[in-house]
Amino acid sequence: MNKTNILVVGKPGIGKTAVTHQMLKLWAEGDNNKLDYMFYFDMRETSQITSAKNLEDLLFSAYREPDEGKEEVLQDIKNNSENVTVIFDGLTDLQCSPVVQGLVEKHLLPDAKIVITCRPEVESEDFLLDWASLRVEVKGFSEESIKAYLSKMLSAVHLSSVLNNLELFTLCHVPMYALMVAACFSFKTSKDYQQPCTITEIYINILRFCVQKSHGMIKNRGLNDYIRKKCEEILSLAEVAFLATQGKSVNLTSLQCEDSSVHSAFLKTLGEKVAPTQWRSSSAFLHYTVQEFFAGIWLLMNPEKMTDVVQQCLTEGKKHMKHLIPFMCGFLNDRNLDTLGHLILAQQVKDTSKWFFKELLNTFIPCPPNQDDSDGLDILFLCQCLYESQSSEACLFLLNKLDYCLDLSGKSLDPYHWCAVSYVISQSEDRKITLNLDNVMISEQGLSLILVCLRNVQWCGCNSLQQQLWRAFLLSEV
């Protein structure tokens, strides 16, 4: 283990960037008599990073050059690299810059502390496989943290609504989703309003909310007509999002925030100094998941491309496209037809639903899996997709392909995974499911969710589910 290298891993929106910002804050507030340096690079600002020809370009293009003695400062950094910390937030590969590669592989500043944040799937990339480091996983909010956060953000009535909705509450373990849930409750709704319980529903609500604010609208009454009027701008944003996601890029050069009020609601401006008095501007989505959400909208409008994208998810070079699929499934959720109806015809959504879920499941489970295949099945991902879809028919199709056996042994489940798994189990009314939870850690939220659907689970054998549940409970985080 190399403690000068730190790998911060976590799912989208879980708080990896917040961790690095806290590191910066502690460094800035520290009372250290010893001269040290810390550099932070948001890997979304790729134009600034890829244009760097050497270490000096990289460090002093992102940060203000010293007023005097630049050469002496740079030499001090090189001579005392043990006093340097470099953070690469959201690194996906090393092809973006030979200078970044030199820092990560320690050809440059060999004693510097290198901090990389990434999503779980990036961890298996070649450049990280042999990268000796201290691995830190960001787990998100605990139950106590969720309650503390929401109590500050919501009224007592709205807080009670979230706490009494287990599905909605489990989403809040991801800090970004907790923020979005709070935003969804910030505008008045009727008493019969169906609270969002999936990630896609929350993003759709946020899309409508941001479009509303971009127009300066106070009331919702004219929002649907305005979205219909701005449909072309929204879909152009979606196309750019898809192309950028496919190319593993977050830097958008073809769109500017000033192009339209809709674009400015979802994009932020990036700048690159290309000459002493000249800047080149580009844009990026406020968060990578927002880009993936819009990319999913483009796919919804182009169903003939869906099969290709689903197949790409199983390839090494395009596995990042997997994050679009849950959004796609969520868009096909009947509950979202009204909110999406101003962008796409409801009949087109229904026609796509008829074949998409079978296509998805047949691709990920091409034949009845045997024991040797089961470890490679991403059951949790498929459960997540079907939970977003809220499709009982699709759940039964999955269970049939798995012969009504959900083997989760040894897997790491967060609260949202438990929510998705319990939903799939709850759809099986006519046939009992064999559920394997051996060596699975269960949180209090997960235990509450799984107990609700146990009536659909088969109890059998000496190494029974009862023993596994007791073992999981005693070893759990409760």
pLDDT tens digits for 217-232?
656 567 888 888 888 8
And the tokens for 386?
Answer: 């079907």
CA–CA dist 197, 213 (Å, integer): 23
Asked if the model's pLDDT at residue 139 lies above 70, the reply is: yes
In the predicted model, is pLDDT for residue 462 greater than 60?
A: no
pTM of this structure: 0.83
Q: Is the pLDDT of residue 374 over 60?
A: no
Q: Which phi and psi angles does 296 have, rounded to 5°? A: -65, -35
* 400/379 Cα distance (integer angstroms): 13
- Round the average pLDDT of the chain to a whole number and report it: 84
The more confident residue out of 58 and 219 is 58
Annotate 186-230 with three-state secondary structure: CCCCCCCCCCCCCHHHHHHHHHHHHHHHHCCCCCCCCHHHHHHHC
pLDDT bracket for residue 287 (50, 70, 90): confident
Q: So what CATH class is 5-137? A: alpha beta
Question: CA 75, CA 73: separation in Å to the nearest integer?
Answer: 5
pLDDT of the residue at 338: 80
Q: Which band of pLDDT confidence, cut at 50, 70 and 90, is reported for residue 358?
A: very high
> To the nearest whole percent, how much of the chain has pLDDT over 90?
40
Q: What is the pLDDT of residues 243-278, one digit of tens each?
A: 989 988 877 776 665 567 778 888 887 766 555 555
Q: In which residue ranges of the chain is CATH 3.40.50.300 found? A: 5-137
Distance (Å) of CA 311 to CA 319, 358, 388: 9, 13, 20
Q: Residue 375's pLDDT is what? A: 47
Share of the chain above pLDDT 70, in %: 84
Mean pLDDT, residues 15-29 taken together: 92
Supply the pLDDT for residue 395.
96
- C-alpha distances in angstroms, 312 versus 238, 303, 305, 386? 19, 15, 11, 19
| 285: DSSP letter | E
Give me the amino acid identity at 432: K
Of 12-26, 242-256, 398-412, 460-474, minimum mean pLDDT range: 460-474
Structure-token match 């509950």, residue found: 335
pLDDT range class, residue 188, cuts 50, 70, 90: low
Q: Which residues lie closer than 8 Å to 96 by C-beta, 6 or more apart?
A: 43, 46, 49, 50
pLDDT of the residue at 47: 65
330 touches 200 (CB < 8 A): yes
E strand or H helix that includes residue 86: strand 84-89
pLDDT at 305 over 60: yes
pLDDT at 95 > cutoff 80: no
What is the layout of strands, in order, in the sheet containing 37-42?
A: 37-42, 84-89, 113-118, 5-9, 134-137
Q: Of 212-226, 301-315, 448-462, which has the strongest mean pLDDT? A: 301-315
Taking the CA of residue 448 as centre, how many other CA atoms within 13 Å lie in the half-sphere pointing to its CB?
15
Q: What is the DSSP letter of 64?
A: P
Say yes or no to pLDDT of 104 above 50: yes
Report how far residue 475's alpha carbon sits from residue 364's, in angstroms, rounded to the nearest whole number: 32
Question: Residue 280 pLDDT > 80, yes or no?
Answer: no
The better pLDDT of the pair 422, 69 is held by: 422
H or E, element range at 100: helix 98-104
* Mean of pLDDT values over 424-445: 85
Rounded mean pLDDT, 381-404: 95
Per-residue pLDDT, 356: 96
Query: Region 309-327: what's the mean pLDDT?
Result: 91
Q: How confident is the model at residue 233 (pLDDT cuts 50, 70, 90)?
A: confident
328 confidence band (pLDDT: 50, 70, 90): very high
Distances (CA, A) of 206 to 293, 377, 418: 11, 32, 24
Q: Decide if pLDDT at 371 tops 50.
A: no
- Percent composition of the chain: helix, strand, coil (DSSP 3-state, to 5): 55, 10, 35
Confidence of residue 433 (pLDDT cuts 50, 70, 90): very high
Give me the phi and psi of 8, to 5 degrees please.
Answer: -100, 115
Instruction: Say what the pLDDT of residue 403 is.
Output: 92
